[in-house]
Structure 1
Amino acid sequence: MSNKRKLNIIGIALASLFFSACAVPYLGRKTEIKTVPESYTNSKDTLNTAKKTWKDFFKDPNLSALIDSALTKNQELNIILQEVNISKNEIRAKKGEYLPSLNIGVGGGIDKSARYTRNGAVDATTDIMPGKAFPDPLPDLMLAAHVTWEVDIWKKLRNAKKSAVFRYLSTIEGKNFMVTHLISEIANSYYELLALDNQLNILRQNIQIQQNALEIVKLEKISAKVTELAVRKFEAEVLKNQSRQFYILQKITETENRINFLVGRFPQPVARNSENFTNLVPDSIHTGIPTQLLENRPDIRQAEKQLAASKIDVKVAKANFYPSLNIIGGIGAQAFNPQFLFTLPESMLFYLAGELVAPLVNRNGIKAKYYSANSRQIQAVYNYERTVLNAYIEVANQISNIKNLQQSFDLKTKQVEALTQSIEISTGLFKSARADYMEVLMTQRDALDSRFELVETKMQQMHAMVNVYAALGGGWK
C-alpha cells in the first residue's frame, strides 16, 4: 500500500472520529405548560387588588410603620439582597469568559548546564561574539504579554452568560416573593396581636362579672338559699379565668417578639390600637382573572426565569459535544542581559497558535452533564406548572374562606348578643330563685366562649384579607 493511500485512510478515520465527536444524542422530552382557567368564580372582572401598593392596602398607620421598618432592617431580606448581588456578579464572570484573556508578566531565572553534557559542551565552545564567551551560568530575563481566547463559535459561552442573566432575574423575583411573604407575615401577626388584646379585655370583663356573681352567691348562702357548693363553684370559675389571663399575656409577649424579630429589632412594645377590633371591615378584594397571576405573582415569575435558564443550560451542555477553537499568542522581549532586553529586533519574541479540539474519550462525562441539564429542564417545567397550580388554588381557597368567614361572623355576632342578654336574664332568675346557680355559671361560660370565638373569627377574616392580597401577588411592587 502506498504512503499516499495510507495517509488518505488515516485522514478519513480521523475525520469520522471528529464528526462522531460532534454527534449529540437525541433526548425526547415534554415541555408543555398547562394553562390556567379563565376565571375563579365565573367573573370576567379584570380589576385586581394586587395592583395596589401595600401602603394603599394597609390603612393602619402603626402597621404601615412596622412594614416600612421591616423592609430595611429584616435580616432575611437583606441576606436575599446579597444573593441578588452574587447573581449579578456571576453575569460579569460569565461575560469575561467569552472575551480574550490578556496577561502581562515579567520573569527571570538562571540556568547552569553540567559541563560534560551536550548542552554544557555546546555552551563551552560557543561565543556570543568574537572574544566573548557564552555566560555560565546563563541568566534569563523576559518581559512579555500573553493572550488566550476561546472563540465562541457555538455560542456556548454567550449562552452561559444569558443563563446567568435569567438566574439573576430569578433571584430578583425571589426577593420580591420574600417581600410579599414578609409583609403578609407582619400583617397577620399584627392582627393576631390586636385579637389577643381584645380577648384579654373580654376575659377581664368576664372576671368582673363573675366576681359580682360570686358576691351574690355568697349573700344567697347567708340567707340559706344556696349551699357552700355553689360558692366554691363560682370561686373556682373566677380563679380559672384569672389564671387564663397569664396564658394570653404570654401569647401577647411572643407575638410582639415575633413582630420585633421580623422588623429586625430587640424586644420592645409594639405600638397598636386594639379598640374596635371586632368592628374592623376587611378591604374589598378584586381578584381579577387567573392569567394576571403570571404577571403579579413573584414566585411564578421566578419559576419562569428558572425555566428559561434551564433551557439555555441545555444548549450550553450540548455545545460541549462540538469542537472548541482556542487561540493563544504572545509578544515580548527576552535576553540573558538586561542591556540587551530592549535591543530590537534581536531580543523580540512572539508566538501565535490555534487548535481545534473535539472530545473523543471523555464523551461519557459530557453525556452525563447533557442528560443532567435535560433533567433539570424538565424539573423546571414541572416546578413552573406546580407553582402556577398552587397560586390558583391559594387564591380560590382564600376567596371561599372570605365568603364563609363573613357568614360565620354574622351568625356569631347574633350568638354573642343572645348570650350577653342571657347573662342578665339568668342572674335575675337566680336572684328570684327561679334558676339554678349552675344555669348562671354555664351561661357565663358560654357567653365568654362566644365572645372569644367572635374575636377569633374577626382575626381569621383579617388574615384572609391579607392572605388573598399576598396570593394575588400584591405587596412587592
Structure 2
Amino acid sequence: MLKRIIYTCLGAAAFSLAVSGCKTPELIQKDVNDAVPEHYANSDQDTTNTASEVVWQDYFSDPYLKALIDTALSNNQELNITLQEIQIAQNEVRVRKGEILPSVSVGAGAGVDKVGRYTSQGANDANTDIKPGEEMPDPLQDYMLGAYATWEVDIWHKLRNAKKSAMTRYLASVEGKNFMVTNLVSEIAKSYYELMALDNQLAIVKQNIEIQNNALEIVKYQKNAARVTELAVRRFQAQVLNTKSLQYGIQQEIVETENRINFLVGRFPQKVERNPNAFGALAPEAIQAGIPSQLLANRPDIRQAELELAASKIDIKVAKADFYPSLEITAGVGFNAFNPSYLFTSPQSLIYSLAGELVAPLINRNAIKANYMTANAKQIQAIYNYEKTILNAYVEVANQLSAIQNLEQSYTLKSQEVEALTQSIAISNELFNSARADYMEVLLTQRDALESKFELIETKMKQMNAKVNIYQALGGGWK
C-alpha cells in the first residue's frame, strides 16, 4: 500500500510540474579565476616551502616565546569562541542529517467527554433504540496510546544538498580556526620581538644618560675654568633631561606591550619572561617560499574561502528545489478505547492511518524566486572573495620577500652608521676638551648616535617581524 501511495504521489508531482511549468529564473554566471603566477619576483622556482615543512615549535627557537604561544593556544578567548563556532557548525550538520530521516514520536492521552442532555448529540443518543447494557457510557472516557511518523520524501535532493552545504561550511569553520591560529601565533611573536626591542632601547637610553651626565660634569668643570659659558652648561643639562624623558616613555611602551601579550595569552597583566640580551644575536634564517600555487593548499584562509564557495554553489541547488513539489508522508498506529481495560484489545482498539501530501508552488512564487536569486548573488560574492583571498595571499608573500632583502641591506648600513657615530662621540669629546670643537658638535654627535642606535634596533625588530610575516603569509603556524 505504501508503494502505491508513493507512486501515486510521484505521478501527481509530474503532473504538477507540467501544470505549473516550474521554469526557474536565469542565473548570472561567473567563472572562478584561481590562476597565480608561476613564481615570485626575485625568487627561484624551488618547490621547497618552509611554512609547510616546519611547524611553529621548530620555527621559533626562543623557549620563552614558545611557552607564550603554547599557553595562548589553550587560553586565548577569541580562539575558544571560534572553537564553539565549529561546534555550532557541527550541530547544524546533525540537524540537516536528521531532516532526511523520518521523524517518529510517541504519544499518549486520556480525556473525558460529557454531552449535555439537551444538545443535538445528547438528544439523539437518548432517542436511539439501544438495548440495556449497550448504551454509550456517560460521561465518555477516552484513552489513547500510539506512535506517529512524518517523512518528507527527498525527491529533488533538497535535504541531502542542505546537509552537504552544512558539512562544507563546517569544514570551512575548521579552516577559519586554523587561520586564526596562524594570526595568533604571528601576533604573539611580533609583540614579543617588539618587547625585546624596547628592552634594548631602554638599556641604550640608560647608557646615554650616563655618558651625557659625564659630559655635563666636564662642561661644568670647564665653565668654572672659564673655558665655556653658562649657555653650554644649560644645553648639556637640557640634553640629559630630554634623554631621561625618553626613558619613561619607553617604560610605558613596555608595560603596554607586556599587557598586549598577556591579553593574547588569556591572563591578567604580569611580567612577561624574556631574555633581552638575546635580541642582538637574533637573525632571520633563510626562508624557502616555494611556488605561488602552494598557497592554495597551505593557506587556511584560501581553503576556507574555497569551501565557502563550494557551499554557496550547493545552496543554489537547495533554493532551486523549492520550485518543485514536495511530498510528505504521515503515518500513525496505536490503540484507542473508552475503557482502559479495552485499550490493548486487538483488533477492536487498534487504530492506524497513512496519508501522503503533495504541495507544489503554483501562483505567486516571488519569494521563492527571490531566495533563488539571492543564493546566486551570494555565490558570485563567494567567487570574488575567493579570488580576492588568493590575490591578497600572493601580495603578502611578495611584500615580505622584498622586505627581507631590503631590511638585510638596511641593517648592514645602519650597523656601519652606528659604529661610525659611536666612534665620533669619543672624537668629539677629545676635540672639545682640547678646544678644537664647540659644545654644539658634541651635543649633535651624541643625539645622532642615540637616534642611530634606536633605528638599528627598530630595523632588527622589522627583520624579525618580516620573519614572522613571511611564515604567516606562506600558510605556516597552524599545524
TM-score, L = length of structure 1: 0.95
User: What is the SS of the residue equivalent to 2:373?
Assistant: helix
Q: Aligned letter for 2:45?
A: K
Are the aligned partners of 1:333 and 1:341 in contact in 2 as well (CA < 8 Å)?
yes
Are the aligned partners of 1:22 and 1:358 in contact in 2 as well (CA < 8 Å)?
no
Q: Distance in 1 between matches of 2:237 and 2:83?
A: 57
User: What is the SS of the residue equivalent to 1:447?
Assistant: helix
Q: Could you tell me how far 1:370 is from its partner in structure 2?
A: 0.6
Q: Aligned letter for 1:110?
A: V
**2:385 is the alignment partner of 1:383:** yes
Q: Distance in 2 between matches of 1:330 and 1:126?
A: 33
Q: Distance in 2 between matches of 1:226 and 1:318?
A: 92
User: What is the SS of the residue equivalent to 1:144?
Assistant: strand
Q: Could you tell me how far 1:131 is from its partner in structure 2?
A: 2.6
Are the aligned partners of 1:214 and 1:231 in contact in 2 as well (CA < 8 Å)?
yes
Are the aligned partners of 1:127 and 1:134 in contact in 2 as well (CA < 8 Å)?
no
Q: Could you tell me how far 1:129 is from its partner in structure 2?
A: 6.3
**2:33 is the alignment partner of 1:29:** no
Q: Could you tell me how far 1:391 is from its partner in structure 2?
A: 0.4
The structure 2 residue matched to 1:227, chosen from 216, 226, 229, is 229
- Indicate the residue corresponding to 1:454 in structure 2: 456
User: What is the SS of the residue equivalent to 2:280?
Assistant: helix
Q: Distance in 1 between matches of 2:112 and 2:424?
A: 107
**2:235 is the alignment partner of 1:263:** no
- Which of 186-195 and 124-133 deviates more? 124-133
- Indicate the residue corresponding to 1:43 in structure 2: 44
- Indicate the residue corresponding to 1:441 in structure 2: 443
- Indicate the residue corresponding to 1:350 in structure 2: 352
- Which of 317-326 and 362-371 deviates more? 362-371
- Indicate the residue corresponding to 1:6 in structure 2: none
- Indicate the residue corresponding to 1:326 in structure 2: 328
Distance 1:148 1:129, change over 3 A: farther
- Which of 363-372 and 30-39 deviates more? 30-39
RMSD of aligned Cα (Å): 1.7
User: What is the SS of the residue equivalent to 1:238?
Assistant: helix
Q: Aligned letter for 2:38?
A: E
Q: Distance in 1 between matches of 2:254 and 2:353?
A: 76
The structure 2 residue matched to 1:171, chosen from 168, 173, 197, is 173
Are the aligned partners of 1:17 and 1:360 in contact in 2 as well (CA < 8 Å)?
no
Are the aligned partners of 2:16 and 2:325 in contact in 1 as well (CA < 8 Å)?
no
Distance 1:269 1:315, change over 3 A: same
User: What is the SS of the residue equivalent to 2:335?
Assistant: strand
- Which of 365-374 and 446-455 deviates more? 365-374
Q: Distance in 1 between matches of 2:16 and 2:66?
A: 70
Q: Could you tell me how far 1:21 is from its partner in structure 2?
A: 5.2
- Which of 78-87 and 356-365 deviates more? 356-365
Are the aligned partners of 1:21 and 1:321 in contact in 2 as well (CA < 8 Å)?
no
Distance 1:184 1:126, change over 3 A: farther
- The residue correspondences of 1:404-443 to structure 2 (distance < 5 A) are 404-443=406-445
Distance 1:163 1:47, change over 3 A: same
Q: Distance in 2 between matches of 1:128 and 1:179?
A: 82
- The residue correspondences of 1:33-432 to structure 2 (distance < 5 A) are 33-41=33-41, 43-51=44-52, 52-126=54-128, 130-432=132-434
User: What is the SS of the residue equivalent to 1:284?
Assistant: coil
Distance 1:79 1:316, change over 3 A: same
Aligned residues: 466
Q: Distance in 2 between matches of 1:124 and 1:335?
A: 22
Q: Could you tell me how far 1:174 is from its partner in structure 2?
A: 0.5
Q: Could you tell me how far 1:443 is from its partner in structure 2?
A: 0.2
Q: Distance in 1 between matches of 2:98 and 2:471?
A: 42
Q: Could you tell me how far 1:324 is from its partner in structure 2?
A: 0.8
Q: Distance in 2 between matches of 1:121 and 1:361?
A: 47
Q: Could you tell me how far 1:240 is from its partner in structure 2?
A: 1.2
Distance 1:16 1:171, change over 3 A: closer
Q: Aligned letter for 1:405?
A: L
* Percent identity (aligned): 66
Are the aligned partners of 2:17 and 2:324 in contact in 1 as well (CA < 8 Å)?
no
Q: Aligned letter for 1:445?
A: R
Deviations 1:401-455 (A, max 9, x none): 1111111111110100100000000000000000010000000000000000000
Distance 1:128 1:181, change over 3 A: farther
Q: Could you tell me how far 1:29 is from its partner in structure 2?
A: 1.4
Are the aligned partners of 2:147 and 2:333 in contact in 1 as well (CA < 8 Å)?
yes
Q: Distance in 1 between matches of 2:330 and 2:67?
A: 60
Q: Where does structure 1 lack aligned partners over 5 or more consecutive residues?
A: 1-10
Q: Could you tell me how far 1:150 is from its partner in structure 2?
A: 0.2
Q: Where does structure 2 lack aligned partners over 5 or more consecutive residues?
A: 1-10
Q: Distance in 2 between matches of 1:252 and 1:139?
A: 81
- Indicate the residue corresponding to 2:4 in structure 1: none
